[in-house]
Structure formats: C-alpha cells, structure tokens
Structure 1
C-alpha cells in the first residue's frame, strides 16, 4: 500500500479493537517468533522488499521496512558473538590480543552508550527494568533459535529450492484445573538445539579453561576470570530458556540433550582437530602447557 502511494494512520480506540491469546510456554512462543521472522524473510527475498520499492515510498518508510526485513539475519552475527567467548577460552587467549588503554577507553564508551540506550528505552516505553532485561534475554534466545532457523530456511529455499519446516510434537495438558498448566508444558522442537549447543560449548570451554589454569605452572586467574565473564554473560541471557525447558516437573525430553550434546561434542572435536595445540605456550618448556589428548 505504501509502495503504491497510499497513506496510513494509527487509530487508537477507547476499547480494544482486537483481542487474542498470546502463547505462554517456551515452544509456542518460539514458533510465534518463527512465523513472524518467516514473513520478514519471505518479503526480503521477494520483489516487494524495500530495496526494490518505488519512489513513492518515503525514505523513513523505506528504512523502517528494511529494518523489518533484515532483522532475522542479525542472528548469524549473534551466534558468532555467543561462541567467541568459548573459542577464546578454548584457544587460551583473550578475544582482544592486546588489552591496552585505548581498548579499555573504547570498551568504556561502548558500555556507557549501551547503558544510555537502555535507559532511554525504559523511559520511553515506561517498562520496568526487569521487563526490559527479560526482553533482552528473549532477544538472544529467539535470535539463536527461531531467527537463525528462518534464515537457513530462506537461504535453502532461494538457493536450492528446498522447502523445510520446523515442527513440534504436541503434548496434551494433563492438569486441566490449573489455568496456567500450559505454561509448564514442554514440547520438543528442533529450535531448541542451537541455544542448548551454545550453552554446552560455553560451559565446556569454562571447564577446559579452569582445568588449564589449575594445572598451569604459573596460573593466570585474572585472565581466566576475564574470559569466563563473557561466557557467563551468554549463559545469563539463556537462563529463562532453560527455566522454560525444564517445565514444572523439571523434566526435559531426552532427545533435546542427545542432539545438543552430539552437536556440541562434534564442534569441540572439530576445533581440537583443526588446532590441537591451542593452549598457551609455556616459556620454560617451549611447548604448550595444555594439550588435548
């Protein structure tokens, strides 16, 4: 409509014009986000994307539609950011090679900008700090699961003409008397695999780095704590995901951990095969102070 020159206005009625029920359990919420992102990716790969729009579309409208169309692709960078701390711990070096005053100044400025942006978002939207933090957590959860799946699905469809779908296995709610029974319902879906793999790799990296620090001749605990903080920050964002994955009975489908464990072990072994002597070099022996056998 906007591409053809039509104008639209936002109408806010005194009474709700439409009402619907929002999903409250983890699986249904992920599939809702999956449907939203699927529409954005389909529009991006169609002739109706904002890059090919006519001159009737205003620049701010074009920018807004571009943002709506490309946001699922940020999941690729988000997954890299979530794995960088783990790779840093496995490799034995910090993410930044030389930590100097210039790097710390840039880090401080970026942190202050992010804090300022968060404050503006909270004041503008009039939400609590806890709600804002929950939104940040689910942004990472949905980015590493539903958004990533949609991007892979869209690329396979465009490049190879392959149609894939991410389905779930429904499970009946046993406690019909509890109005929140659906909240604790756990359904298996392949969207759960990437976040669990990311968490497992970060935990594995922290264990490896901790073991290497203990058995090192000159343990560098400051270096370990600095590197492990970023992995812990990733795990802190994934906390609601695991809380929803457990359900009321604290039970999770075994297949979730089986597939996630296999993928995590495969990626770790692949990293070891590519760079087997990735530990820090010991000055006395001239070799690696930590080696994978």
Structure 2
C-alpha cells in the first residue's frame, strides 16, 4: 500500500538551482560593493560637487532595492515541480471512500460580479467528476442581492439537465458560458441544452437590466413570498439568510442521479458592525458547512474562477489522501490562469511570479502561499496546529447524516449573526485570518507558521480559468488593495522577518517578507524615475563614467537582473513580450498604486480613515473596450488619481531625455559622464510608449483624459524650474 501511495505523485527539483545559488552569491557581493560605493560618495559629497541630498536619496533607493532582492532569494533557493497521477488513485481507494468535498464560492456585488458568471462557476464545480452525494456547493452572497438569489434558483433548475449532459458527453469545460463560447457541436442534445442555457441567461439578464426580480419571473408561491420579504433588505443591513436550493438526499437530475447540495447564504449585516470582508464570509461558510455537511476537504473558488478540468478534485486527493503527507498538509494550491488576456499580456495579468515562479520556490520549502482561489483545504487546518489532539472549543461538531433538518438550519442561521464571533477566536487562531484585507496571503502564511505545509499542483491542463481586469485603472486599483493588505501583515506582530523566520524557517520568512514589503519598491522606483533625470538637465553626474571601473558593476547588476527574469519567464513557458510587459507594469505600479497603497496604509495606521475595500470589476464595459484590449492598447478613459503621478513621471522623463540628448549633441555635457542617466531616462521613455500614445495620438474612448495630461505637463514644468533653482542648472 505504501509503495502505491508513493506513486500517486512525484517531485522534481529545478535544474537551475546550482546556477541560482552561485548567482546569488556573486550578486550579494556586487550589491555590497554598490552600497559601499554610494555610501562613500555620500560621505565625500563636498569634494564631488554633488548635493548631499541627491547621493543620500540614491543610497536610500539602492538600499530598498537591495532589501527587495535579498528577500526575493528565499523563493530561488529550492524551486520544485510536482506531478500527480489521478488515474492511479483507484488502486488505493474506492469511490465510496473518497472524502466529502465542500466548495465555497463568494460574491459581493452583482454589478461588478455578474450573477451569470457566478452561476457558471458554481455549475462547473457541481459537475466535477466526483460522487455527487459527497459534493456540496455553498454560495456566500455578501451583497444580499435578490438578483444573485434568483440566478441561483434558475441555476438549480438548469443543473438537472447540465450535469448529466456534461458527464454523458465527457465534456471537459463544464462552465456553460465557456463551453458554448468555444463549442461548435450541432447535434440535437447540444442544441437543446444550449437553448435551455440561453433561456436561463436571458431571464437573469432581464432582471439585471430592471435591477430587481419582476413578478413575471417568479413561478411558485414560495419564490413569491421569498422575494416579497427580500424587498425589506439592504446590502448593508439585513438578517441572516440560508436557502437550500438543492439537497442531495431529495433532488435528482433528469437521469435519476442525485444532485450535489447547492446552498445559498448571506450572513447578517449591520452598518454598525465590522464584517471583515471576504475572510468574514469564508468563516461564515466554514461554520454553516460544518453544521450541514462538514466535509473534511474544502475548495475555495473566486466567483469568476470556473473549472477547466473535472478531474481536478482527484488530483488534489493524490496529495490529501497520501498517509505520508496527511499529518501536516493544510492545502493543495492550483495556480490561477486567465485565458482571456491578450497575446502580449499588456497588464501582466498572468502575475507569473506570484502564481508560478515564486510559488515553485516556496513549494520547495514548506509549500506555496494561498492565493484565494483554486485551493483544496484540509478542514482540520483551520482549527489548530497539525499536532493538536482535538479541535479548539469553537470548532464545529460533526454533521449528522440525517439530512438538513430545521434545527440544523436554525443553528446555522445563528452562526451567521453579526455578533456570533464576538469573544471567540474566529479570525485569529480559528478559521481564515483577519487583520489584513489580503486574507488569502495572511491565512496561508499563518497556517505555515503553525507547522502546516502545502503543495503546489500544476497540471498540464489548467485546473481553473478566471477573468483578469481589462482596464489599467482596475489593474492598479486591485494592486493598491493588495499593497495595503500586505503592509498590514508586514508591519504587524506577525512580521515575516521575525515571527515567520522563527516559526516557519528563515527562508520561508524571506519569501513572505518579499510580498509583505512589496510596496516599498515605490520609494526606489520614484527616486530613480525623477532624480537622475532632473540631475541630467542640470549637468550633475550621479553615476560612474563609462570609463570608470565602477560603471561595470552597475551594468552587471542591471543586465543580470533582467536576464535572470527573462530566463525564468521563457523556461516557464512564457514569451519575451510577456516578460517585457511584466517589467513595464512593474515600473508603472511603482509610481502609482504602490505609492497610493503606502500612503493609504500610513494614514490608516495613524487613525485617519481611508477608502474601504472595493470589489474588482469583472465586467467588460463594451465591445470597443474589448477590441482595444485585444489590439494591445492601454485602457485609461477615466481621470483616475492613479494616473496623475504616472503622467508626471512619463513627461518628466521624455522632457529630460530630449534635453539631455540635445546637451550631449551640443557638447555641453560629456556623454561618457552622463551615459547612465541618459540610459535610465531613455529606458523609461521606451517603456512609456503606450502612455505617450494614449496622451498625444489616440482619439478613442480609452485615451488618457486631457486633464491628466495637462496636469503632467504643469507638474513637469514646476519640477524642472524647481531643479534649476535648487541645483543651478
């Protein structure tokens, strides 16, 4: 038996490990040398003629870059990949012995997260190749929307036909929307199910356009009474709601096979009581599911992340059912994949470092971080450490196999009340973790600090597909939210450099510190985006001449950094252009959302109120926007505050680069002396072409708003004049 269990999966170390370690050793001393060089220039600024503030600012920037590089080495120490063999699972376990599986789907806003998309995610999970009597899907609606509720009532009816259709035809993509968008079948059964889906979708869309569920859409007295009651609710103030839409013991599909449980819930909300965002919703799901089904395995899915492979649960079970791993295995994480991104991935929506490159590095230590979706959890991990002999007092007792009784529902409703968690350890030592709006990162990190491990599962066929933001404002807004949440972890009592290094390991602490202090790169990027350029037009050299041996040290650091990342991208199956756009977006984030996130976190830390949690928009605004995105055009369109610093940086660099080249051609300054500053400003100009295009050449609705461009020009003029005044240009 043990031999068979070992064959369920394999592990392979990255062949680049020796190279990465050697490179890190050499790079470390090169970084020390650069810091020493910059520090010596700061100490001798009077003899060089360069203002102390300039060299000191560059020293700060380079120290922050050094910190980012150092913390990033944890994920490069031992990258590994795994392969699992689900076809061998039946050699060691019978189908009836598979553990129950509870699927959690969270949604919060029907207008940013269209109910049709949420329904398709849930249907794709209900159609897993998994025993239906051991599968339950729970939907948490934090928007308490009658539109979402109506959509799931329609989904429950459609599921009776959709699930047997998928299994009888061996369909792999079991989200109806994704399937019908890619399928060209014309047989009778296909056309029949397609008409049924289109009818369901039209009914849901009709209600969405009205903004409410109209009476002509309600077909039963029970539904009528339910929606009449719903009229009294608001998103911010409403009681607990649980609706059993499908019950496996009672409901069957058209072929007579039991359907999975489908349960809708919305926890009680009060505008006077904090609700802890998505983490609070997930903990509500933990409690309710614990009382109703209490499956030992839990899958969390974002509402736009549908299943692309029905065998995915079996892949997860290859690890979760392995006795050699079961003791301390908290979760199996599948990476996010986004099929809708354009060919060159202009917004770096793949987030390749997070979902693949760095995840494989963590996988070689104690396992990847939790990324909020596509993750199979061992329920036990939420209630104690691996060595806990029993669950904590607030844990949920085992559900009985007696159906969903009235008494169970009443207890479940009580567990959804606003004050249920008061005086308990929910959100601290039980369940998903609070104290940060990036509950996924915080929860995975804290689990690993308690001794739990995780596994990264990267099958050749992506397990889940989702939607990525399609406008730059949405991309940057999402990243700003992440930045604030990561700071909340980094500057807490659970700081990875101290708490994490002590309770997990030094390398794991580095990996989590890399993300926790991620936003600090805004300091370095902002300094490098403005200071060398303004010094250039004032004829102030800040870097070694080409003829100076120190120049080659800076060149080595720049070239090897970019070369290593390019190699990682290409080996990881990506392309040059995706890598190029990744480093471009890295710079854009540094002068936009990272700055705003840092400011917001600082204000929040000193007690000044800041904007609350915002849901990322999952809706493509119109066909023209979609067409622009597919052509690789950046989508601006709105005068977002995030665009103003971007406009300033891009215009400053264009102006200074142009003036700098003119000064070199006129022999006012030495090319040898100013090469590095010319290169930096020119590199920023090259990366900023999509922004210049949106400012000066485009006429479509996605162009940069005129007010942002004017602001950038005015601020650039002010910076240039101020630099002349301060530095005597």
Residue 149 (structure 2) aligns with = none
- Alpha-carbon distance in structure 2 between the residues aligned to 1:182 and 1:205: 30
Using the alignment, how far apart are the partners of 1:155 and 1:240 within structure 2?
31
Q: CA deviation at 1:57?
A: 1.4
2:480 is the counterpart of 1:34: yes
TM-score by length of 2: 0.34
Question: Partners of 1:5 and 1:182 in 2: how far apart?
Answer: 48
Residue 156 and residue 263 in structure 1: after superposition, are their counterparts in 2 closer, same or farther (change >3 A)? farther
C-alpha change, 1:270 and 1:157, in structure 2 (3 Å) is: farther
CA displacement at 1:5 relative to structure 2: 1.9
Q: Which residue of 1 aligns with 2:375?
A: none
Provide the rounded CA distance (Å) in 2 between the counterparts of 1:201 and 1:221: 21
Inter-partner Cα distance in structure 2 for 1:56 and 1:195? 40
* 1:67 match: secondary structure: helix
Name the CA distance, whole Å, in 1 between partners of 2:710 and 2:704: 11
For the pair 1:231 / 2:681, whether they are aligned, the reply is yes
Based on CA coordinates, which of the two structures has the bigger radius of gyration? 2
TM (norm. structure 1) is 0.77
Q: Secondary structure of the equivalent of 1:105?
A: helix
Quickly say closer, same or farther: Cα 1:24–1:124, change in 2 above 3 A: same
- Structure 1 residue 30, shift from structure 2 partner: 1.3
Are residue 48 (structure 1) and residue 494 (structure 2) matched? yes
- Which piece of structure 1 moves more, 19-28 or 65-74? 19-28
Matched, 1:266 2:713: no
The match for 1:155 is 602
The structure in which a higher percent of residues are helix is 1
1:186 matched residue in structure 2: 637
* Equivalent in the alignment of 2:168: none
Structure 1: distance between partners of 2:692 and 2:611: 23
Secondary structure at 1:186 match in 2: coil
1:75–1:148 contact (8 Å) kept in structure 2 = yes
Gaps of 5+ in 2: 1-446, 630-634
Aligned length: 270
**Equivalent residue, structure 1, for 2:575:** 128
Measured in 1, the distance between the counterparts of 2:490 and 2:688 equals 29
TM superposition shift of 1:251: 3.8
Deviation at 1:234, TM superposition (A): 1.0
The answer on 1:67 being equivalent to 2:67 is no
Q: How far apart, in 2, do the equivalents of 1:147 and 1:161 lie? A: 20
Greater relative contact order: 1 or 2 (C-alpha under 8 angstroms, separation 6 or more)?
A: 1
RMSD between superposed Cα atoms in Å: 3.3
Alignment of 1:72-111 (within 5 A): 72-96=519-543, 99-111=546-558
Q: CA deviation at 1:21?
A: 1.2
**Are 2:522 and 2:594, in contact at CA under 8 Å, matched by a contact in 1?**
yes
Give distance in 1, aligned partners of 2:672 and 2:552: 19
